[in-house]
Amino acid sequence: MQKEAVLKKAGLSVTESRKTILELFFASEGALAHADIEKHSSINIDRVTVYRTLQTFVESGIIHQIPTTDNTILYALCKDSCEAGHHQDEHVHFICVSCNKTNCLDDVMVPMVKLPKGFLPIQTAMIVKGTCIDCRN
Amino acid sequence: MQKEAVLKKAGLSVTESRKTILELFFASEGALAHADIEKHSSINIDRVTVYRTLQTFVESGIIHQIPTTDNTILYALCKDSCEAGHHQDEHVHFICVSCNKTNCLDDVMVPMVKLPKGFLPIQTAMIVKGTCIDCRN
DNA sequence: AATGATTTGCAATATTGTTGCAATATTTTT
DNA sequence: AAAAATATTGCAACAATATTGCAAATCATT
Ligand SMILES: [Mn+2]
Ligand SMILES: [Mn+2]
Ligand SMILES: [Zn+2]
Ligand SMILES: [Zn+2]
């Protein structure tokens, strides 16, 4: 889908900042952190705008978050099937310890897991750390 | 195991800060973030010392990290079987969206998952968000 | 108790995140 | 196509979080 189409489908205004950030996600192999976006965007986008755009994109179901253990949040494009408020991204995420890229393994679904009595699951994330296919040489 | 024993087993000096922080983990039901420790420790521990202690504890296999999507890192006690450099904590973590506590589900192991050719896993984390047993009333 | 090694707290600095508000850009209406 | 209404952006100021070097204090060893 085109940048503008994605924004319009989500009911968002089409602005330069949003198109530029979306462009970055389209072009990127792996997931992006706030800092990546601030550094690599073609035009200059204010730090605050980046924060707000990422938040808007998450809420609109355009991108999803990937938890990490380094005080950053990673973001990656959602499938078209994701919608505002209701994400459908239960695939596994792979963080390469060598190149440090994070991949969405779109074809690997997060397996169900049986929880103790009383725990009611809503959403499950699975993050695998290891060596990615590009780094195994 | 006693506080001092834990530290000695890890080959660490036994200091007031370390005992106090360890105490907090023993007393806490759920996982702790840096901020929790800074706020709730009985004696006053400098912010920098808290950072350094957490790092040391992770490296020594005393605590393990839990990834989140809110720019914090959560920490919880490891099993006795964990050792420096080589953690053995592949259990599921449960974050309650109501009370916001994070539990180690020590008895729920992270299931294996088949990765695409070429991806070599080292460690897997699984975080379930939902409603915990205490909040289902 | 004295020595040496490690840890701690402070200060200074850097990085990251939040908020209000006026200026600008976008969408909708006329 | 212009005007009006709405939404977004950037700036500034601030708050919160994280990092580093170094001297003082604490801890382990003798
Ligand atoms: Mn993903
Ligand atoms: Mn745990
Ligand atoms: Zn790699
Ligand atoms: Zn709860």
Q: Report yes or no: A125 at the B interface, CB cutoff 8 Å.
A: yes
Answer yes or no: pTM beyond 0.85: yes
Q: Report yes or no: B119 at the A interface, CB cutoff 8 Å.
A: yes
Spatial distance between the Cα atoms of B77 and A21, rounded to a whole number of angstroms: 39
Sign of the alpha-carbon dihedral angle for A116, A117, A119, A120: positive
A74 DSSP β-pair partners: A33, A66
Distance A22 CA to D20 C1' (A): 36
Spatial distance between the Cα atoms of B41 and B22, rounded to a whole number of angstroms: 10
CB B111 within 8 A of CB B92: no
Distance A13 CA to D4 C1' (A): 18
Spatial distance between the Cα atoms of B127 and A3, rounded to a whole number of angstroms: 32
CB A132 within 8 A of CB A104: no
Question: pLDDT by residue (tens digit) across A85-126?
Answer: 666 668 999 999 999 999 999 999 999 999 999 999 999 999
A25 DSSP β-pair partners: none
- The DSSP call for residue B104 is E
B53 touches strand C (CB under 7 A): yes
| Side-by-side strand order, sheet with A32-33 | A32-33, A74-77, A63-66
Residue type, A30: G
User: What pLDDT, on the 0 to 100 scale, is given for residue A87?
Assistant: 62
Question: pLDDT by residue (tens digit) across B23-72?
Answer: 999 999 899 999 999 999 999 999 999 999 999 999 999 999 999 999 99
A124 chain-B contacts, CB cut-off 8 A = 126-129
User: What six digits make up the tokens of B50?
Assistant: 């808290």
CB A19 within 8 A of CB A4: yes
Give chain B's domains with CATH numbers.
Answer: 2-130 (1.10.10.10)
Question: pLDDT by residue (tens digit) across B105-125?
Answer: 999 999 999 999 999 999 999
- The DSSP call for residue B41 is -
Cβ-based neighbours of A96, under 8 Å, separated by 6 or more: A102, A103, A129, A130, A131, A132, A134, A135
Residue nearest to nucleotide D9 (CA to C1'): A49
